[in-house]
Amino acid sequence: MNIHSRDGESELTCLIPQLERLARILAPSPEAAEDLAQEALMQVWRRLRAGGGIVDLRPYLMTVLRNAARKPAQERQSEELTERNAGTVPAHQLIRLACEDVKRALARLPEEQRELLAPLLAEGLSYGELARRFDLPAGTVMSRLSRARERLCRDLDLPRGRAVSTLLDELDANAPPLPGPAPPPRPGTN
């Protein structure tokens, strides 16, 4: 099956984490790994945009990366990223990726924090209601939730004091409306 521009760009986006992992193995530094991954993505993206079919995108992309890693840095062609040659990721894919990041960060929380955070987010319970439900002192609830928020912000690379929900709110604000009825607002947003 030949992969062309539209399908390839979508699949290319999904392969970025695997590409970055391999780049970190091949490169001598994190900065060099980022450059290698970017170079491989640009080369494959240009081929897809030019209409060049690729039979199996993953192995092709990884081969391009390995070949780029073999070249000395000064030989690598550096192309300035412009609006004309920049790939675009549809907003709904960015939202999906952000949601996946949030879900993974929530799953990494200690159970005692996660079990308090889930009803807080889903049901909008107060600290007092959570304390009664879990038979804990209110101070314990507040400190566990504070540690959970702090860890989520750190894991999601959000500035201190910025709510995790603002990550999704920003993406929602920039996304085109989806067809169909509007989704209900998230708790705590107006």
Q: Are residues 42 and 108 in the same domain?
A: no
Q: Are residues 62 and 109 in the same domain?
A: no
Closest listed residue to residue 68, CA positions, set 29, 32, 18: 32
Contact 48, 11 (CB under 8 A): no
pLDDT tens track for 134-186 = 999 999 999 999 998 888 888 777 766 666 566 555 555 554 554 444 555 55
Q: How far apart are CA 152 and CA 163, in angstroms?
A: 9
Within a domain: 79: no
Q: Is the dihedral of CA 168, 172, 173, 175 positive or negative?
A: positive
Residue range of the domain that includes 9? 5-72
Q: Are residues 56 and 101 in the same domain?
A: no
Within a domain: 185: no
pLDDT tens track for 81-97 = 565 555 555 656 666 76
Q: Are residues 45 and 102 in the same domain?
A: no
Q: What predicted TM-score, i.e. pTM, was given to this entire model?
A: 0.43
Within a domain: 37: yes
Closest listed residue to residue 168, CA positions, set 144, 152, 146: 152
Domain count for the chain, please give it.
2
Q: Give the least confident one: 24-38, 57-71, 175-189.
A: 175-189
Cα 184 to Cα 53, 188, 190, distances in angstroms: 42, 12, 11
Q: Are residues 58 and 23 in the same domain?
A: yes
